[in-house]
Structure 1
């Protein structure tokens, strides 16, 4: 065994111990947002540590979002800002169609890609906000992701809520907490907007437009801070590898966020 391999194995064992001490439930369901750069080490070792901590009966879930195939996403708008109409058209024509079996999710980070590509991994089929999962509950959690529902009742987030999943923010902040989006759908009259993305079809590449909730994560950092302060013990803080991390129950976070957003945001027309 090389010194590098031994170092990675020891790092993975240490991370698994830290995850257990943080409170990750063996046999449970865990949604993870991770910055491997903050944690140090490599994504493969961290994925192994997470799976070892969850055990064979546990299920690991990650976001596998793909803003790269949408011309209504922030990623696209940032990319084409200042370009001519002709250059915008070229960018749009080059955007790859979504295929759940092969389309990468680079914006989600190295851990998400490692889980997506792992043997036995499953992925939901939404062309913008899919999730990938490993474990015995993966199929049940990911099945039936409605094409016109990013992150609401017709998405894996709703089933993660029902499963009383935990959420781990590993080196990331509450601003990346996808679970809070489910609370946006649970407001009485949330604003809506049009989305558009390119998908694969029997006839080849085609653009698809649909209406859904106007997702807005601009206040999630403040929301998360209030959640941690006002619910003593709801969020467990610790270090995993080199990353400052937070662990909490998805259900508790969504319930808190539903009331918090209802008090601070205006409803749609």
Structure 2
């Protein structure tokens, strides 16, 4: 299934994308307990509810109300618990930045409030001169996981996948002291979506093409097959350092082609730039950058 959320920010409606690309309202199918924000939504509680997911999968999309095609598409997941990110997870990206491939996954966090919709505006932070792009495969957790004993156990906890744009401010990240968090948690720095694609539609997460364009110029063109630590290992590894809960998101790293890896003068993002990105089968994003 391709699940999405449609409507103004803070008032999105849960939906299912049908075979013709029409968003169908699934609010009437969700039932059960309500989420913390009111009516039940596409969130961790839904992903952990096999009965609710089965109702959605069994429904005839033609019998569900069609939502206006002109409505905003929001992030496909509400009430995200945490966003765990993996740095330097592609061989070619490590090479372009002059870093040695890590012996263990490089882990950092992004706050859930960095998440915006796939077509929402991205804000260039005040004082920024090194805002950078990063297309990433996002993994969405659907089952509580701790101390996974195998990669198979880890993958059983994956509910689905989405496109993530891990926007980064490189000066804040690496030149201002402390940890990477200052360059990763600026407002709007994690567009997500357009869809949450359930795991059954992605039989091999290590065989996905990732692409990103800036102002129409192809900048990133990679494959998840180049990951140093594949999805199953990333999920297994993280479960030994933190409990993963339904509704948590893992950004699994970016391939080569970021501005940081380009020769001087590096083409960092500026207000007015347009970024587009896509991953096989997971949809496409487009953001215009504006000043904060």
The TM-score normalised by the length of structure 1 is 0.24
More strand by share: 2
More helix by share: 1
